Amino acid sequence: MAKSVTVRAPCSTANLGPGFDVFGMALDALYDNVILTKKGKGVVIVSSDNIPLSPSKNTAGLVVSAMKKEFKITDGIEIKIKKNVPAGFGMGSSAASAAACAVGLNKLYNLKLTDTELVEFAGIGEKASAGTIHYDNVAASALGGFVVVKTKPLNVVKIQPPNDLVLCVAVPELKVPAKKTKVSRGVIPKKVSLSDMVKNISNASAIVAGFSEKNSELIGRSVQDVIVEPARKHMIPGFDKVKKNAMAAGAYGVTISGAGPSVIAFTDKKHDAKKISNAMKRGFKAAKKKSEVFICKPSKGPIIKR
């Protein structure tokens, strides 16, 4: 059996507007690189990036510890992490490392886990970053494409996105709080009106239909969220302007990427993604924030190297 495995896991966007905690999509923009090696005793994290190195505080460490216990793996595991996905910007950074570990250990020990089992283990990592287990980002990172997470019992459905779908992810230069996801979960209303619920279900259903029918315009026009986005947008300087500018430049829809502060615009190959990106940059600039915009397509998922 091999001694080590290398996994490159993609960043992801969660929610896609109305699909809070349910929808995720892997993005071909940035990847975390994780090398898992059988070595010594226990779980050791090696990284020169600004992330916790204690296995109980790192999403990767939690996943490896849980899988070691579940599958009675007695080898020690060294987890070497090279981050590329910036932590805390709503691009599923913590999830990319967690997903890479679940996929990597599955390969290293030939565990033959199903997609849903992989996601279940990867989700354990999110406890370290968000305080609660949620599966939208890890499912996207581990499986690639667009994912729908059904819980209790966990069941993850993956749908291949349309080939012409294009995303512009604008990442503002901001100081994000250490427990950003936890903070931004705290501002969401505990109760919602029936009419808002209907609007979000309608849009969420249309998104799933859009992915099934490979209709990028339907997906983009449906990333409308009347519940979570209005409660969170004040945490993103310039959000309204970024959104308005992107729509005026031809985006089908714009929303917060995951818990933010990144903002994601949906378009297709018929439109000028560069023009949309520049419009988003100008929106952040009006709020005195610099930003970087990634023009990307959905990712097919992790790449495993021996």
Q: Least separation, in Å, of the C-beta of 30 and ligand ADP?
A: 11
Residue 281 found at the interface with ligand ADP (CB under 6 A): no
Residue 239 touches ligand ADP, criterion: CB under 6 A: no
- Indicate whether 261 belongs to the interface with ligand ADP (CB under 6 A): no
Distance CA 283, CA 102 (A): 38
Q: Which two tokens stand for residue 208?
A: 């799933």
Distances (CA, A) of 71 to 64, 118, 203: 10, 13, 40
Find the helix or strand (DSSP H, E) in which 89 lies. Answer: none
Nearest-angstrom CA–CA distance, 232 and 119? 27
CB 45 within 8 A of CB 35: no
Alpha-carbon distances, residue 75 vs 43, 108, 126 (angstroms): 9, 12, 24
Is 294 annotated to bind a ligand? Reply is no
DSSP state of 238: T
Phi, psi of 28 (to 5 degrees): -85, 60
Binding of ligand ADP at residue 52 (CB under 6 A)? yes
Q: What is the rounded distance in angstroms from the CA atom of residue 45 to the CA atom of residue 209?
A: 41
CA distances from 80 to 20, 43, 44, 108 (A): 31, 11, 8, 15
From the CB of 52, what's the least distance to ligand ADP, in Å? 5
Is 96 annotated as a binding-site member? yes
Q: Which region, judged by CB under 6 A, interacts with ligand ADP, from 164-172, 177-185, 200-208, 218-226?
A: 177-185
Q: How many residues bind ligand ADP (CB under 6 A)?
A: 23
Catalytic residues: 126, 181
Residue 149: CB minimum distance to ligand ADP, A: 16
- When the beta carbons of 83 and 158 are compared against ligand ADP, the nearer one is 83
CB closer to ligand ADP, 64 vs 246: 64
Length of the chain, please? 306
Footprint of ligand ADP on residues 180-209 (CB under 6 A)?
Answer: 180-181
Of the candidates 59, 106, 215, 299, which one interacts with ligand ADP according to CB under 6 A?
Answer: 59
Q: Applying CB under 6 A, does 95 fall inside the site for ligand ADP?
A: yes
Q: How far is the CB of 178 from ligand ADP (least distance, A)?
A: 5
89 binds ligand ADP (CB under 6 A): yes
**By C-alpha distance, which of 128, 142, 130, 137 is closest to 58?**
128
220 is in an annotated binding site: no
Choose the binding region for ligand ADP from 93-101, 107-115, 194-202, 269-277 (rule: CB under 6 A): 93-101
Rounded to whole angstroms, how far apart are CA atoms 23 and 16?
6
Select from 123-131, 211-219, 281-289, 290-298 the region that touches ligand ADP (CB under 6 A). Answer: 123-131
Report which of 113, 26, 44 is spatially closest to residue 303, judged by C-alpha positions.
Answer: 26
Q: What would the two tokens of residue 182 be? A: 């936890």
Per rule CB under 6 A, is residue 91 in the interface with ligand ADP? yes
> Which CB sits closer to ligand ADP, 51 or 208?
51
Tell me which residues touch ligand ADP (CB under 6 A): 51-52, 58-60, 81, 87-95, 97, 128-130, 178, 180-181, 258
